[in-house]
Each structure stands twice: as structure tokens, then as C-alpha cells.
Amino acid sequence: MQDSARSCHLFSGIVFWEQSSEFIPDNLFPTIGEIRKWAYQEGLIWEPDSQFVTPEREQNLCKIFQPEDGLLIAVHIYQDSSGRLDYLEYPYVPVRTLIKKEMQIDIVYWQIRLGEVRFGFWYEDIEAEELCSISTAKRVIRKFSELFEQISSEYDAKRLNNGTLEIEVNGAVQAKFFKEGRYFDVELKVMYSGEDSGS
């Protein structure tokens, strides 16, 4: 059991979430170790067990994923409403892995900008973990855009000046990605309305 736990190293690299790279010094080598060291030095880390994708969180993910699934650590550095920088990490799961494993996921939020949709999600077999992914597939973006227009009045939705669409649904939308021929696609299903959830 201990041998299998030690051999489970899922993450092959990092991805910067949203505009996180803008806050990283140009001379910083972008590895997860160097970024965490910088975040400590900047005073951005106050609860590492929840801010970092820790070995314990990684072992929990090993119940579902394998090293060949191409998971990354998404580094999210952002400014809160007071202008203070915050730091978080999330497991990033490629859409092709969601398709391969036929995963039905619960969408937490999505953001559409510059020809891509970014989304956070929960998966019922992985407790207490928010994961994330990105799709640039035209069919996927179109369906998320259409659903945004249909339900934006019921949820916390924003249309930003740069054309970005953002919406938080907190698990009210289920998604299952699939391939049709060479094309990536998604089935989206609204499980309950924003009014039902009390939002």
C-alpha cells in the first residue's frame, strides 16, 4: 500500500490560471517549487494545506487518475476586492481525460474569453476538491455561451467590458464531455435553478 502511494505522482507541470502569470517576476523560473517559494516570500501563504495541492490531496486524486492522464497544477494568483494578492492551487484535468474516463461533472463556474472556456468543477468520487479545466473547442464554447444566455438572470453572472462572460452556478449544471468524430463536444444539463438553490 505504501509503495503504491509513493509511486502515484500525477502532476507533470503547471498552468497559470487566468492572468496569474502577470504577477510573477520575469526572472522567476516557473516551477511549482520556485513559485511557492516566491509566494511565501510575498506573504501570500497563510494556510498551505488548503492553498497548495499537497501530497495528501494528490493521493486522494490517485483514486481516480493515473500519471498518464496529464494532470497539471493550476496556479491562481489574483487580486481580491481590496487589491490584495491571493494565491491558490487547483488540480487541472485535461478535457481529453474527462472524455476518456467518461466523467460526469458538476460545474462550479465558467468563464468565456478569447476563444476558450475555463471552468471549475466537482466530481462526486473526489470529496472536498475543486478541479478545473479549459476547452478551446468551438462546439463546447458555443454550448456554454448559449447556456449562459439562458440562465444568466438566475445566477451570479457578469458581462465584462472586454467581452468576458462569467457565471457561478455552484454545481447546478452537470456536464459530460465527448468526442463526435474529430470534434470535442459537451452535454450540459441544468439540475436546478438559481432560485431553487437560494442564490
Structure confidence by residue, pLDDT tens digits, 167-178: 999 999 999 999
- In a shared domain, residues 1 and 87: yes
Q: Binning pLDDT at 50, 70 and 90, where does residue 196 land?
A: low
- In a shared domain, residues 15 and 78: yes
pLDDT at residue 199 is higher than 50: no
Q: What pLDDT shows up at residue 153?
A: 95
Amino acid 76 reads H
More confident residue, 116 or 192: 116
pLDDT digits (tens, 9 = 90+) for 113-146: 999 999 999 999 998 899 999 999 999 999 999 9
pLDDT at residue 197 is higher than 90: no
Q: Residues near 121 by Cβ (< 8 Å), separated by ≥ 6?
A: 105, 106, 107, 108, 130, 131, 132, 133, 175
- In a shared domain, residues 7 and 32: yes
Q: How far apart are CA 48 and CA 42, in angstroms?
A: 14
Name 28's bridge partners.
none
Among candidate residues 40, 57, 92, the one where a domain is terminated: 92
* Residue 156 near residue 167 (C-beta atoms within 8 A): yes
pLDDT digits (tens, 9 = 90+) for 79-122: 988 889 999 999 999 999 999 999 999 999 999 999 999 999 99
Question: For the chain, what is the domain count?
Answer: 2
pLDDT at residue 1 is higher than 80: no
- In a shared domain, residues 63 and 108: no
- In a shared domain, residues 80 and 161: no
Q: Is residue 199 part of a domain?
A: no
Q: Is residue 198 part of a domain?
A: no
pLDDT at residue 45 is higher than 80: yes
Rounded-to-10 torsion of CA 71, 179, 181, 110: -90
Strand, helix or coil for residue 191: coil
- Mean of the per-residue pLDDT values for the chain? 92
- In a shared domain, residues 87 and 100: no
Report the DSSP pairing between strands 116-123 and 104-113.
antiparallel
Q: pTM value?
A: 0.91
The set of cell numbers assigned to 16 is 497559470
- In a shared domain, residues 41 and 25: yes
- In a shared domain, residues 142 and 77: no
Q: Is residue 4 part of a domain?
A: yes
Q: How far is CA 140 from CA 54, 166, 169, in A?
A: 31, 15, 17
Among candidate residues 77, 92, 107, the one where a domain is terminated: 92
**Other beta carbons less than 10 A from residue 89's beta carbon:** 24
pLDDT at residue 184 is higher than 80: yes
Average pLDDT over residues 27-49: 95
Provide the residue range defining the domain that includes 8.
1-92
- In a shared domain, residues 112 and 56: no
- In a shared domain, residues 31 and 118: no
Among candidate residues 31, 57, 92, the one where a domain is terminated: 92
